[in-house]
Amino acid sequence: MALIGQDIAQAKQLLEQGQLVAIPTETVYGLAGNALNPDAVLSIFTAKDRPSFDPLIVHTDSIEKAERWVKYFPTPLKSLAKEVWPGPLTILLPKKELIPDIVTSGLETVGIRIPHHPLTLSLLQSLDFPLAAPSANPFGYISPTQAEHVNQQLGDLIPYILDGGACQVGIESTIVAWENNRLHVLRLGGLSVEVIETLSKQKVVLNLNQSSNPQAPGMLKSHYAPRKPMHIGNIDELIKKYKDKRIGVLSFQRDVPNTTIQRILSPTGDTHEASKNLFRFLRELDQSEAEVLITEFVPEYDLGRAINDRLQRATYSE
Ligand code: AMP
Ligand code: MG
């Protein structure tokens, strides 16, 4: 198992040696390596069993540093970055040669983000290279939101996990790009479309889930998925349908009696609380006695859209 602790100097030393360290962020835990070292980046793909066509997000701690790795930073995106960073927003920008092709799966753009977590920001400040860091889970499985989740699945493959407690946002970053003078959202995530539209004072173009779109490989239909079969729809009807099985329920607000196990995303109906709980609850249900998992869509506003996107990919639709 990996060592778990809060020793930034140790994390820094390992990263400088080209090794991997799991890092806390406000979205989910990342599996980090030196983004400028192709061998370190290759070991991220290997540890996760991640296909090489799925590009990694690069993390840094200031806009000035970000500008070292990109050819230019369109003004509207930079203004948005200034408002939101550190925060759950990844911005696609044209990369300089310095960023190895393996990071971006050969694409001309690189996804950059300043994560909002004190430990990881201190670590990034102490480094003179950025960190490539996808979520610290085996490819396709539920993303980790606590150090222990990382240890359960990747503990034997990495030396150190920087423990920053539970992730406060709980789902991955929103990904945006600037194309044809418009702001495009390529992945829904921890910063809502409503907030982006308010801050940028413009309507965004939603350009989601197009795995055939070479801009966004990795937006796969099945992702973030538990190992147990999970079905989404009307909870009462699904309970009738699977009445002969041990059922685990993930509801938005409502208490559902007489199930083997139940988790309520947010009893008060708060999509931020729901997003913070989502992956932990999915993990708990997946590790429970239940044979079949049942869930429902949450309201399509604020972080609800990103939650529904994750639920859709984790389930079989009825
Ligand atoms: P994550 O697994 O949360 O680190 O997110 C990585 C995802 O970001 C990938 O699966 C892609 O969908 C997206 N991404 C990262 N870099 C790029 C890029 N240069 N162009 C398009 N999408 C990207
Ligand atoms: Mg991931």
Other Cβ atoms within 10 Å of 156 Cβ, number: 9
27 Cα–ligand 2 center, Å: 11
Which residue CA neighbors atom 1 of ligand 1 most closely? Answer: 134
Q: Where are the alpha helices (DSSP H) in 3-132?
A: 8-16, 38-48, 63-69, 75-84, 101-104, 118-126
255 Cα–ligand 1 center, Å: 36
Which residue CA neighbors atom 5 of ligand 1 most closely? Answer: 134
Sole residue written with tokens 């197009």: 210
Sole residue written with tokens 């099985």: 245
CA neighbor of 101 nearest in space, from 92, 109, 93, 113: 109
pLDDT at 161: 98
95 Cα–ligand 2 center, Å: 21
Domains belonging to the chain, first-starting first, are 3-171 (3.90.870.10), 230-315 (3.40.50.11030)
Tokens of 316: 């079989």
Task: Evaluate the CA torsion angle 8, 10, 16, 19 in order and state its sign.
Answer: negative
How remote is the C-alpha of 313 from its chain's centroid? 13
Three-state SS for 43?
A: helix
Closest ligand, as measured to the CA of 115: 1
pLDDT at 315: 87
The structure's pTM equals: 0.95
Cα→Cα distances 226→110, 172, 284, 314, 316, Å: 29, 17, 10, 7, 11
Angle at 211 between CA 208 and CA 215, to 5 degrees: 75
235 Cα–ligand 1 center, Å: 32
pLDDT at 221: 58
Closest ligand, as measured to the CA of 134: 1
Q: Using alpha carbons only, how large is the chain's radius of gyration in Å?
A: 19
Q: Where are the alpha helices (DSSP H) in 20-74?
A: 38-48, 63-69
Cα→Cα distances 215→58, 104, 141, 220, 295, Å: 16, 10, 23, 13, 31
pLDDT at 225: 81
306 Cα–ligand 1 center, Å: 15
Tokens of 152: 């359960």
Q: From 96, 175, 179, give the residue whose CB has the most ligand 1 atoms within 8 Å, as the site to mutate.
A: 175
pLDDT at 235: 97
pLDDT at 247: 97
Closest ligand, as measured to the CA of 140: 2
- Ligand 1 atom with minimal separation from the 50 CA: 2
54 Cα–ligand 1 center, Å: 6
- Ligand 1 shell residues, CB under 6 Å: 54-55, 57, 92, 104, 107, 109-111, 134-135, 172, 175, 187, 215-216, 218-219
pLDDT at 217: 44
- Ligand 1 atom with minimal separation from the 110 CA: 19
Which residue CA neighbors atom 23 of ligand 1 most closely? Answer: 216
Output the tens digit of pLDDT for each of the chain's 318 residues.
999 999 999 999 999 999 999 999 999 999 999 999 999 999 999 999 999 999 999 999 999 999 999 999 999 999 999 999 999 999 999 999 999 999 999 999 999 999 999 999 999 999 999 999 999 999 989 999 999 999 999 999 999 999 999 999 999 999 999 999 999 999 999 999 999 999 999 999 999 865 444 454 445 556 678 999 999 999 999 999 999 999 999 999 999 988 999 999 999 999 999 999 999 999 999 999 999 999 999 999 999 999 999 999 888 655
- Ligand 1 atom with minimal separation from the 186 CA: 22
